[in-house]
């Protein structure tokens, strides 16, 4: 039973053995792997020019490949990839890593690199449990990451044949570890604020903890913004100061040395020893405030983290200080970023305590809590312990072909959950299919929505019918996300597991649809019932012949209106239609009843 924390600078693996979760030292001597990606010691090598010490617990340099997983090549990727020690290429809208292997330039996807990492971790686990047993894993991901990121992790685990139980948020895994370490009684609840500050992401969670019961009240965060972004801004600032003082631009070698220096030395040390006098601070006392660069184009990191904490507290309906109920009892601060001490002081003031108060339940240099908590979760699942975890999902919406967005699952909704929306589709389009696209709104409200995939339904469309479509979102306890599109009239259904597949082509747009309107379930069921009653028989009956001499002959070639061609008693009462008769051999309920006339008088 193993838990893995897929961090941006340090990948940790814990093994539950002898009633406790122990950290496994991952090292490969002799080297393992061949070709483009191989491992030696605690480092991963991609080609001949990319090396990252990802299995060394003392490493603080972020591994940018983990940040590219499950993403499209957008402006944010283009911006931060300029500071990576390798090239990130745009190939069909997806980021690819450029490297050199045996003098030949090659490309590899970040998902492929993740497959190699999970494969060697699986091999390391096999050496601990033996070849006769199959190790079970729980992988930890940032709690603020999207379903696209989770889907990439699940796909990579499936490709390397890793026995994956589930995926857990990093803050939730930390809560599991704290719950087990402190052994709280079942009838005692503790509210805990967990802040995970990494190099590439930030997650803030407020949860209620008791013995074997964890209830997440709210989770917010930034999926692709972390301490590494602050270092980038610092590099830009120092680069500008260098050019201002020396009256010349910085050379590529000097810029490379500056990047290496900022990566090697803690950011706080750089500020305090060299550049504090020339930097602006957020208050009069630089030593007691969170230092950040104030410029027009800079990222105000303190303000961003502060907004995330306030958003999480507001959504959880907990208060940072005071008396009574809904007060945070403990603060758990984890992560590996160099400025965690400054952030601790800022958070301690926000929650009403001074300095490093005892209310802080952990120190940030303990980087193993997430992996240990993931290993404990495997134990709970495998041993069938009476453990209950209530997680929350992000806001999920669906867009119809007219690009009208409808909220299906609201933000901060407990899972498992199932929600359904209904649409009336006027099928007067040339194509005979309709596509619904699924979008996720990140937990950080300032970030843009992400298209997770699409689900299309092939319909026998014509100008004579209307389709009633039902779209269902189903999220299970293990974050398995299933989207189902159903047309109950034609008995058609299409189901896509969005957490594992993107589904149908999301680039298709329908602009010739006559009308696509969202309706309530009551109207949907009523219209569906009427539609089933009004369904046209396979052979359309003809209209009664008219003896009127004024009727034009070309009217006989027109297709008869099916509404007026069907007998009146096939419709519910109150609908005004032309009086017609049933054809010979009609098998409707009224015609099959003895003594019932097949003609009906016109309502007055």
Q: Is the pLDDT of residue 555 over 90?
A: no
Q: Which two tokens stand for residue 460?
A: 């026998």
Name the band, by pLDDT with cuts 50, 70 and 90, for residue 472: very high
The closest of 46, 42, 50, 38 to 12, measured between CA atoms, is 42
pLDDT at 51 over 80: yes
Q: Is the dihedral of CA 536, 540, 541, 544 positive or negative?
A: positive
The neighbour count for residue 89, using CB atoms within 10 Å, is: 12
Position 467 confidence tier, pLDDT thresholds 50, 70, 90: confident
Neighbours of 439 (CB within 10 A): 18
Query: In the predicted model, what is the mean pLDDT of residues 177-192?
Result: 73
Query: Quick one: pLDDT at residue 89?
Result: 87
pTM of the model: 0.73
431-440: average pLDDT: 80
Give yes or no for residue 463 having a pLDDT over 50. Answer: no
pLDDT of residue 527: 65
- 8 Å CB contact between 221 and 415: no
Average pLDDT of the segment spanning 545-555: 45
Q: Which one, of 84, 107, 104, lies nearest residue 94 by Cα?
A: 107
User: Do the strands 202-210 and 413-414 form a parallel or antiparallel pair, or are they unpaired?
Assistant: unpaired
Over residues 10-25, mean pLDDT: 84
CA atoms of 183 and 216, how far apart (whole Å)? 18
Handedness of CA 40, 46, 52, 55 (dihedral sign): negative
Q: Which two tokens stand for residue 532?
A: 């089933």
User: 3-class SS at 379?
Assistant: helix
């Amino acid at each position: 039973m193993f838990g893995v924390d897929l961090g941006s600078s340090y990948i940790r693996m814990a093994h539950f053995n002898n009633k406790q979760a122990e950290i496994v030292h991952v090292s490969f001597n002799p080297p393992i792997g061949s070709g483009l990606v191989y491992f030696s010691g605690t480092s991963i090598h991609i080609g001949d020019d990319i090396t990252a010490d990802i299995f060394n617990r003392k490493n603080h340099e972020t591994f940018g490949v983990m940040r590219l997983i499950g993403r499209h090549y957008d402006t944010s990727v283009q911006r931060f990839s300029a500071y990576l020690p390798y090239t990130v290429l745009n190939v069909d809208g997806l980021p690819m890593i450029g490297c050199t292997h045996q003098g030949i330039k090659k490309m590899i996807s970040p998902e492929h690199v993740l497959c190699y990492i999970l494969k060697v971790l699986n091999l390391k686990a096999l050496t601990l449990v033996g070849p006769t047993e199959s190790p079970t894993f729980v992988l930890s991901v940032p709690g603020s990451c999207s379903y696209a990121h989770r889907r990439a992790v699940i796909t990579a685990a499936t490709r390397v044949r890793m026995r994956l139980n589930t995926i857990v948020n990093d803050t939730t895994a930390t809560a599991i570890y704290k719950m087990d370490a402190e052994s709280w009684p079942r009838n005692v609840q503790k509210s805990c604020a967990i802040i995970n500050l990494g190099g590439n992401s930030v997650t803030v969670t407020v949860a209620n903890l008791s013995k074997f019961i964890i209830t997440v009240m709210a989770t917010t965060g930034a999926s692709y913004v972390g301490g590494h972004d602050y270092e980038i801004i610092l590099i830009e600032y120092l680069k500008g100061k260098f050019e201002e003082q020396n009256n010349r631009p910085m050379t590529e070698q000097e810029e490379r040395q500056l990047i290496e220096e900022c990566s090697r030395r803690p950011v706080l040390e750089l500020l305090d020893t060299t550049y504090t006098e020339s930097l602006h601070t957020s208050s009069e006392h630089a030593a007691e405030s969170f230092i950040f660069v104030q410029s027009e184009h800079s990222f105000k990191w303190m303000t961003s983290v502060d907004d995330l904490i306030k958003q999480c507290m507001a959504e959880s309906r907990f208060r940072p200080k005071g008396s009574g109920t809904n007060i945070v009892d403990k603060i758990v601060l984890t992560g590996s970023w160099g400025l965690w001490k400054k952030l601790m002081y800022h958070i301690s003031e926000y929650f009403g305590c001074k300095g490093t108060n005892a209310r802080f339940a952990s120190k940030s240099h303990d980087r193993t809590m997430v992996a240990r908590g993931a290993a404990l979760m495997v134990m709970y699942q495998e041993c069938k312990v009476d453990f209950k975890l209530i997680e929350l999902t992000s806001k999920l919406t669906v867009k119809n072909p007219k690009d009208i967005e409808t909220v299906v699952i609201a933000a901060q909704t407990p899972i498992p959950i199932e929600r359904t929306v209904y649409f009336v589709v006027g099928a007067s389009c040339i194509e005979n299919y309709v596509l619904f696209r699924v979008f996720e709104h990140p937990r950080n409200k300032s970030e843009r929505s992400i298209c997770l995939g699409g689900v299309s339904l092939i319909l026998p469309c014509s100008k004579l019918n209307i389709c009633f479509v039902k779209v269902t979102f189903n999220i299970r306890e293990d974050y398995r996300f299933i989207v189902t599109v159903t047309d109950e009239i034609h008995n058609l259904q299409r189901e896509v597991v969005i957490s594992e597949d993107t589904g149908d082509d999301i680039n298709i747009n329908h602009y010739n649809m006559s009308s696509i309107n969202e309706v309530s379930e009551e109207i949907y069921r009523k219209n569906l019932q009427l539609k089933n009653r009004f369904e046209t028989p396979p052979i359309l009956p003809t209209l009664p012949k008219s003896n009127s001499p004024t009727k034009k002959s070309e009217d006989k070639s027109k297709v008869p209106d099916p509404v007026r061609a069907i007998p009146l008693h096939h419709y519910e009462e109150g609908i005004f239609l032309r009086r017609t008769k049933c054809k010979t051999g009609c098998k409707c309920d009224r015609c099959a009843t003895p003594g019932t006339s097949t003609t009906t008088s016109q309502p007055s």
